[in-house]
């Protein structure tokens, strides 16, 4: 046997294990992280399918690229509006979470997970609970609000299981598949905010 043949025989086999995703929020099944250029192909149709957008925009890879390369707020990560991509731990974009709000104490969000995903319930629950845990750990938020279509019973169950409470129902507030649908608003409040709401102090003319 030649030296070259011996080296080939002893060389370790290349790993076939899938690459594990990393990000800001890492769960057992999902990772939340900022958008990468490699995500465009999978993310564009999910953004286009998003039923919560006020305007149904023609999301394409080209439009994503233009937004991503914005000179003032590149990477879909601005001061006010930020996109987290929801990725399976083993790879593959499954959805996104959009966070809106300049005020560090309060943010308004919308989340969409691929409706065709067989593991949608697991991914949605873990992405939402992971996002809340991340925000509480690093931002000390007072209020986090999510909008959800009333017909999205699965997404509503994720919110309620994570500690969000229903605040208001708005009739015919969103256009979904060409039809106006009811929107529900769910909010998570910190103990600090709840304490302030419970005791606003004396009002004018009230005995103390």
Instruction: Supply the pTM of this predicted model.
Output: 0.81
Phi/psi at 168 (nearest 5 deg)? -155, 150
Candidates 84, 150, 157; CA nearest to 120 is: 157
Candidates 30, 53, 50, 38; CA nearest to 131 is: 30
Phi/psi at 85 (nearest 5 deg)? -95, 135
Assess if residue 4 is contained within a domain. Answer: no
Assess if residue 1 is contained within a domain. Answer: no
Of the listed ranges 35-39, 169-173, 204-208, the one predicted with least confidence:
204-208
Looking at residue 102, its pLDDT comes to 66
For residue 165, what are the domain limits?
Answer: 18-198
Assess if residue 128 is contained within a domain. Answer: yes
Assess if residue 203 is contained within a domain. Answer: no
When the pLDDT of each residue in the chain is averaged and rounded to a whole number, the result is 83
Residue 122 · residue 150 · CB < 8 Å:
no
Candidates 110, 88, 116; CA nearest to 97 is: 110
CB atoms under 10 Å from CB of 147, counted, come to 16
Looking at residue 124, its pLDDT comes to 96
CATH number at residue 177: 3.40.630.30
Residue 96 · residue 112 · CB < 8 Å:
yes
At what angle are helices 40-49 and 61-68 packed, to 10 degrees?
Answer: 100
Q: What is the pLDDT of residues 87-143, one digit of tens each?
A: 999 889 999 999 998 667 889 999 999 999 999 999 999 999 999 999 998 888 999
Looking at residue 60, its pLDDT comes to 85
Looking at residue 8, its pLDDT comes to 45
Assess if residue 26 is contained within a domain. Answer: yes
Please state the separation of Cα 53 from the chain's center in Å.
14
Phi/psi at 101 (nearest 5 deg)? 150, 125
What does the DSSP 8-state code read for residue 19? Answer: P
Assess if residue 138 is contained within a domain. Answer: yes
How far apart CA 94 and CA 88 sit, in angstroms, is 7
Assess if residue 7 is contained within a domain. Answer: no
How far apart CA 40 and CA 63 sit, in angstroms, is 10
Q: Say yes or no to pLDDT of 10 above 50.
A: no
Total number of domains in the chain: 1
Q: Say yes or no to pLDDT of 36 above 50.
A: yes
Assess if residue 10 is contained within a domain. Answer: no
Q: Given pLDDT bands bounded at 50, 70 and 90, which one contains residue 68?
A: very high
Q: What is the pLDDT of residues 137-190, one digit of tens each?
A: 888 899 999 999 998 999 999 999 999 999 999 998 777 777 888 999 999 998
């Amino acid at each position: 046997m030649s030296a070259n043949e011996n080296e080939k025989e002893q060389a370790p086999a290349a790993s076939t294990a899938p690459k594990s995703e990393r990000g800001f929020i890492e769960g057992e099944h999902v990772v939340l992280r900022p958008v990468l250029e490699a995500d465009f192909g999978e993310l564009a149709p999910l953004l286009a399918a998003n039923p919560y957008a006020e305007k149904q925009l023609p999301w394409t890879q080209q439009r994503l690229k233009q937004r991503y390369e914005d000179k003032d707020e590149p990477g879909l990560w601005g001061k006010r509006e930020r996109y987290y991509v929801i990725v399976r731990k083993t790879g593959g974009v499954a959805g996104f979470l959009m966070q809106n709000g300049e005020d560090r104490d309060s943010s308004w969000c919308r989340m969409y997970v691929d409706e065709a995903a067989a593991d949608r319930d697991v991914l949605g629950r873990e992405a939402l609970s992971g996002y809340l845990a991340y925000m509480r750990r690093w931002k000390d938020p007072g209020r986090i609000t999510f909008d959800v279509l009333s017909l999205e019973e699965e997404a509503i169950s994720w919110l309620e299981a994570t500690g969000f409470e229903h605040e208001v129902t708005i009739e015919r507030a969103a256009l979904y598949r060409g039809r106006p649908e009811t929107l529900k608003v769910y909010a998570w409040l910190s103990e600090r905010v709840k304490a302030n709401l419970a005791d606003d102090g004396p009002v004018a003319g009230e005995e103390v």
